[in-house]
Amino acid sequence: MIYLVDLEYVETRYTAQWKDCFPQQIADETGQDITVIEGPSDIANVVTPGAFLDFAGTNIYKSEQIKIIAQHFQNGDIQDGDHFVFADAWHPGVLQIKYMAELLGKKITLHGLWHAGSYDPQDFLGRLIGDANWVRNTEYAMFDAFDKNYFASNFHINLFASVMFPDPETKDYLESKIVRTGWPMEYLGKHIGHTYEKADIILFPHRDAPEKQLDIFLDLKKELPEYVFINCNDFNLTKPEYNKLIEQSKMVFSANLQETLGISCYEILRSGGIPLVPNRLSYIEMYEDIFKYPTQFTESFESYEGHKEILLGKIRTLMNNFYAEEIQSAIKSNREALEEQYFTATNLYQELK
């Protein structure tokens, strides 16, 4: 049996799609029975401003999941060989499961998908809490409790390892615990279609958080009136409405200071559009050179001002030559590479077989 400890449903986040698609994809790929461990359904569908989830609501949700899992242990449902997959590795429940499994002699396997943590100085935990002993030691404990820890990019693995395990002697330990896998987003192909005829729209689809540098996007809007700049945060978009906007747009712009995967940049490629990203973070390994600009152009707003004219020129070149063979060929090849390596969880599925 595979127990999927899922993420709470938030309409504006990919957790909405993971509710249905993630368990079905695991079942299809492994041929095993899936039990989804969910929290209460009556939590308000909101997020803490600028964050991925609601800081209080997520703990209500996770606490209910822990209760359900403990009841499964108490009822004798958990058997040797069972797997627990945590859709978010930053979950205190992994420690309780480890506690029960060890004391009850159950030989189970624990899997955790890491999205962020205090080891990332641009994440909420990193910015607001930093390397406080309690948070850093909690992350050490969770990482060790998981038999397999999954990261969606090499950049994320290196970031995690450089902060948490800088000692070269830990290399073998890390290699035994870490799996680089794409995220389970095979379903995106069913929701975002490829459109060739697009409007002159440039999107900001990121969270309105400091590390996303919305101020740069807004300044570009003033400098480039010939294009339509849309900040998705200004509209209460449903997922279908957001997908439609992606399909209509030529470009997604990023000046992000934190990105361990970057879903919206893949979504624009999926629709036949252009991701314009800095040459840093996970973008380095994921995107072709034609879609990247030098990292120093947007390391801060002050740095952006010093390089603004070159960046404006890059945007105009890509937008005005959108249908050129070179750009269209790069969109296709980059999309195919990301589909194969970063937006299918093949390596995770293999570990569950």
CA 280, 283, 289: angle at the middle one, nearest 5? 90
Sheet holding 83-86, edge to edge: 34-37, 2-5, 83-86, 109-113, 148-151, 178-180
Answer whether residue 10 shows pLDDT above 90: no
Claim to verify: residue 244 and residue 136 sit in the same structural domain: no
Domain coverage including residue 27: 2-184+344-352
- What is the pLDDT, as a whole number, of residue 122? 86
How much of the chain exceeds pLDDT 70, in percent?
A: 96
Claim to verify: residue 172 and residue 192 sit in the same structural domain: no
- What is the pLDDT, as a whole number, of residue 54? 78
Answer whether residue 15 shows pLDDT above 80: no
Claim to verify: residue 18 and residue 164 sit in the same structural domain: yes
Claim to verify: residue 287 and residue 333 sit in the same structural domain: yes
Q: What does the pLDDT look like over 262-297, one tens digit per residue?
A: 999 999 999 999 999 999 999 999 999 999 999 999
The stretch 301-327 carries a mean pLDDT of: 98
Claim to verify: residue 260 and residue 196 sit in the same structural domain: yes
Residues 161, 352: Cα–Cα separation, whole Å: 24
DSSP lists the bridge partners of residue 231 as 204
Q: What does the pLDDT look like over 251-260, one tens digit per residue?
A: 999 999 999 9
Q: What does the pLDDT look like over 196-241, one tens digit per residue?
A: 899 999 999 998 889 999 999 999 999 999 999 999 999 989 889 9
Claim to verify: residue 114 and residue 145 sit in the same structural domain: yes
Claim to verify: residue 109 and residue 170 sit in the same structural domain: yes
Where b means 16+ CB within 10 Å and e means fewer, 288-325 reads eebbbbebebbbeeeebeebbeebeebbeebbeebeee
The number of C-alpha atoms within 13 Å of 247 and in the hemisphere containing its C-beta is: 14
Q: What does the pLDDT look like over 32-85, one tens digit per residue?
A: 999 999 999 877 566 656 555 678 888 999 999 999 999 999 999 999 999 999
Per-residue DSSP letter, 321: T
Residues 153, 159: Cα–Cα separation, whole Å: 10
Claim to verify: residue 194 and residue 155 sit in the same structural domain: no
Runs of H (alpha helix) within 249-300:
263-270, 283-286
Element (H, E) at 203: strand 199-204
Mean pLDDT across the chain: 94
Claim to verify: residue 203 and residue 76 sit in the same structural domain: no
- What is the pLDDT, as a whole number, of residue 123? 87
| Structural domain total, the chain | 2
Claim to verify: residue 234 and residue 266 sit in the same structural domain: yes
Claim to verify: residue 116 and residue 258 sit in the same structural domain: no
Claim to verify: residue 213 and residue 87 sit in the same structural domain: no
Q: What does the pLDDT look like over 88-135, one tens digit per residue?
A: 999 999 999 999 999 999 999 999 999 999 999 988 888 889 899 999
CB 91, CB 62: distance < 8 Å? yes
Q: What does the pLDDT look like over 296-308, one tens digit per residue?
A: 999 999 999 999 9
CATH assignment at residue 48: 3.40.50.2000
The residue to which tokens 């070159």 are assigned: 310
From residue 331, alpha-carbon distances to 30, 190, 196, 291 in Å are 32, 18, 11, 9
